[in-house]
Amino acid sequence: VCCSKSQITMGRLEQIVCKPRNGPSGFSDHHMIVMECIRIRNIGIMAHIDAGKTTTTERMLYYAGYTRSMGDVDDGDTVTDFMAQERERGITIQSAAVTFHWHDHRINLIDTPGHVDFTMEVERSLRVLDGAVAIFDASAGVEAQTLTVWRQADNYDIPRICFLNKMDKPTASFELSVDNIKEKLNIKPIVLQVRNSIRKVTLARAGVPLLCGSALKNRGVQPLLNAVVDFLPAPIERRHNFLQWYGNDPVALAFKVCNDQQRGPLVFLRLYGGALSAHSSIFNISRNCTERLSRLLLGFADQHVEIPQVTAGNIAIAVGLKKTVTGDTLVASKKSAIAASQRAREANTPPNEGSHEAGGIEVILPVLAGVDVPEPVFFCTVEPPSAAKQQNLDHALACLQREDPSLKVHLDPESGQTVLSGMGELHIEIIQDRIHREYGIEAYLGPLQVAYKETTTRPACVTGSLERHQAEMLHSASVELSVQPQPGAGPICITWAPSEGHVLRPEVMESVRSGIECGASQGPILGYPVQDVRVCVQSVTVNPGTSLAILSACTVQCLHKALLQAGGQILEPLMMLEILVPEEHLSCVLADLAQRRGSVFSIHARRDRQVIVGSVPLADMMGYSTTLRTLTSGTASFSLEPSGYKSMSPVEQQKLIQERTGR
Ligand SMILES: Nc1nc2c(ncn2[C@@H]2O[C@H](COP(=O)(O)OP(=O)(O)OP(=O)(O)O)[C@@H](O)[C@H]2O)c(=O)[nH]1
């Protein structure tokens, strides 16, 4: 990237503006900053791991004139994979945002990771995109992770175009890949290398344009860029209902947070309406606080260019926001949010809601739908090399957690140890590596453990009481509650039985609620969180003067008693599995899967390989890549995707309890 210092008068601000060294001529500095909305394309690149996302992005940057040479993942010198771990491993871990120009249009492009451990990274990028390019390896067709990201893009209703990459490979097949796309993605690919009605079809999502090429051999990348500009929508061509309530006021969504050693947290914003200026205040509806936006930057992978203002449809980086996290809605002021809420209500269209207190009055403010954070499936303890480093480790973990909402950190109340929870072995390994490289701490991680859950199998109703003598007074409480299994409902849900003439005081209800939540956070069998259960509070009796802490403790005991009486059941995470294996190694891979309690759903041929599709408990998949490599002399590959939780059989459950407790 070449930066030239030019002075631009925009109000009273001076800016450093980044221009392409040999990019398209005719671009004024003003153009570089203020781009008409119709000429913006916010797009993402999505695919299965290794399909060629980063290579294609590098070629786009080269042809757009933003780089002088083509970066190569195999040489570790790409623009978008700039993290040390990405360059070393040749994989994308975090989504990089790059802005460049093509045929009088600004393309804000996000290169997303393909590995299943970083699905969350793809999800939060998709949330802010207007269009996407799906890249396929023409010798493999539709692979497992492509299906996952395709479904994610369906959820956000994102218009897409397809690029069949790696057409130079001898095993590439255009026809088979197109058939595979039709069949597996259930779409009508419009095969083209030249292209106006296609745009209408793409925007209506009635078809998906498909191009082909070979990024490595520099074939088909310029037509792909032309297709991005010609077929994918501008931000104003996407319908966002909430915009009508805000009029010309700014409304933005924070979709990513990165920690920069010098500048502090960098918050990536997608601006849907209005304009935001540097050195201004903005109101965060989700956190109910006003933040100071000190600077605004345009992202060029790891390099940034300061801008005075960002307008609707753009993606920019905000500096100075201290409390904002991924998924938060930012608007001009609380007044603007309240006015938008009133407009929505007058039109009888309740928006997405966040409840807030304003001047002692509870008001409902419209927020944008945030990003779903997946449940972590693995956890382990983390310790600093010495007690003196504990504070530094806490700081590192707080920063990393703010960047990555799929990483959870909590303190185990029993052992006092810090516990890290994440999406997979690689995810936790990268976090450990980042703690070392970016924060200089040699953190020690305990063994990786599977995040089980607890639930019940039948209803139960119990009464529990607790008496304690404290300060020469008898504290006594009694709680009656029932539990009911609710498969697939997720976190515990609390209801209150109608009381006849017996109204519970708010502080009593709050104390019972916190007792239930505390009891459900550590189930009675092995201390795993309880889910898929409805708890109904039947009655609460409290002696006058009894402390609310005693009432909470009584509720925890009562809940655990009810859960055990209702047939305490451990749930274990299950993974969908796809293995590509040469015919000669099929039987040994299947035998190994059987030993891992795997279920095979289908086995079919894909060119010279057999494809095994099935499911397997996560607990039995630790270190599977090494085993598979050994069994097949490195000729097989596999992909895993979380597929919910399943009940363990009584024998498996007993084995786990014995392993964990020795009982
Ligand atoms: N033969 C051939 N190889 C390619 C082509 N495009 C990329 N590759 C190679 O495929 C491998 C993966 O390429 P990447 O660009 O890192 O793929 P990716 O999709 O970004 O990978 P992740 O970020 O790890 O998901 C590298 O070894 C590339 O050199 C192509 O058109 N033809």
Q: How far is the CA of 251 from the centre of ligand 1 (A)?
A: 37
The percentage of residues in the chain with a pLDDT greater than 90, rounded to a whole number, is 23
pLDDT of 308 > 70? The answer is: yes
Q: What average pLDDT is seen over the chain?
A: 81
Q: Which atom of ligand 1 is nearest to the CA of 92?
A: 23
Alpha helices for 210-358 (secondary structure H): 221-231, 243-246, 334-346
Closest of 593, 460, 472 to residue 538, by C-alpha:
460
Distance in angstroms (rounded) separating the CA atoms of residues 149 and 44: 11
Give the pLDDT of residue 369.
59
Residue 308's DSSP bridge partners are: none
Element (H, E) at 298: strand 295-300
Q: Which atom of ligand 1 is nearest to the CA of 219?
A: 31
pLDDT of 81 > 70? The answer is: no
Per-residue pLDDT band for 32 (boundaries 50, 70, 90) equals low
Q: Is the dihedral of CA 403, 404, 405, 407 positive or negative?
A: negative
Helices 144-155 and 174-185, axial angle in degrees (round to 10): 50
Lowest model confidence (mean pLDDT) among 41-45, 499-503, 641-645 = 499-503
Give the pLDDT of residue 499.
63
Give the pLDDT of residue 545.
83
pLDDT of 133 > 90? The answer is: yes
To test ligand 1's pocket by mutation, which of 88, 146, 216 has the most ligand atoms within 8 angstroms of CB?
216
Section 174-192 average pLDDT = 88
Contact 448, 622 (CB under 8 A): yes
Q: Which atom of ligand 1 is nearest to the CA of 169?
A: 1
Q: How far is the CA of 216 from the centre of ligand 1 (A)?
A: 8
Query: Ligand 1 atom 21: the closest Cα is on which residue?
Result: 50
pLDDT of 431 > 80? The answer is: yes
Q: How far is the CA of 257 from the centre of ligand 1 (A)?
A: 27
Q: How far is the CA of 641 from the centre of ligand 1 (A)?
A: 21
Q: How far is the CA of 75 from the centre of ligand 1 (A)?
A: 12
To test ligand 1's pocket by mutation, which of 45, 55, 93 has the most ligand atoms within 8 angstroms of CB?
55
Give the pLDDT of residue 500.
61
**Distance from the Cα of residue 5 to its chain's centroid:** 37
Place of tokens 């992202």: 299
Give the pLDDT of residue 15.
25
Query: Ligand 1 atom 7: the closest Cα is on which residue?
Result: 52
Give the pLDDT of residue 552.
93
Give the pLDDT of residue 298.
85
What does the pLDDT look like over 145-165, one tens digit per residue? 888 888 888 888 899 999 999
Per-residue pLDDT band for 83 (boundaries 50, 70, 90) equals low
Q: Which atom of ligand 1 is nearest to the CA of 47?
A: 19
Q: Which residues 6+ apart lie within 8 Å of 234 measured at CB?
A: 37, 38, 39, 40, 41, 130, 313
Lowest model confidence (mean pLDDT) among 407-416, 451-460, 533-542, 621-630 = 407-416
Query: Ligand 1 atom 14: the closest Cα is on which residue?
Result: 52
Section 209-218 average pLDDT = 88
- The three-state secondary structure class of 495 is strand
Lowest model confidence (mean pLDDT) among 74-83, 473-482, 504-513 = 74-83
* Residue with the larger pLDDT of the pair 359 and 298: 298
- The three-state secondary structure class of 242 is coil
Q: How far is the CA of 91 from the centre of ligand 1 (A)?
A: 9
Distance in angstroms (rounded) separating the CA atoms of residues 342 and 489: 33
User: What tokens does 382 get?
Assistant: 């983390």
Residues with CB under 6 A from ligand 1: 47, 49-55, 73-74, 90-92, 113-114, 165-166, 168-169, 214-216
What ipTM does the predicted assembly reach?
0.96
Distance in angstroms (rounded) separating the CA atoms of residues 117 and 406: 10
pLDDT of 174 > 50? The answer is: yes
Per-residue pLDDT band for 17 (boundaries 50, 70, 90) equals very low
Section 114-143 average pLDDT = 81
Section 344-358 average pLDDT = 55
Helices 548-565 and 506-521, axial angle in degrees (round to 10): 50
473: left (phi over 0), alpha (psi -120 to 50) or beta: beta
Distance in angstroms (rounded) separating the CA atoms of residues 376 and 366: 29
Contact 267, 330 (CB under 8 A): no
Q: Which atom of ligand 1 is nearest to the CA of 81?
A: 23
Q: 210 — phi, psi (to 5°)? A: -130, 125
Distance in angstroms (rounded) separating the CA atoms of residues 187 and 181: 7
To test ligand 1's pocket by mutation, which of 45, 48, 49, 54 has the most ligand atoms within 8 angstroms of CB?
54
What does the pLDDT look like over 255-300, one tens digit per residue? 888 887 777 888 999 998 889 998 999 999 888 889 999 999 887 6
pTM above 0.80, yes or no: no
What type of residue sits at position 297?
L
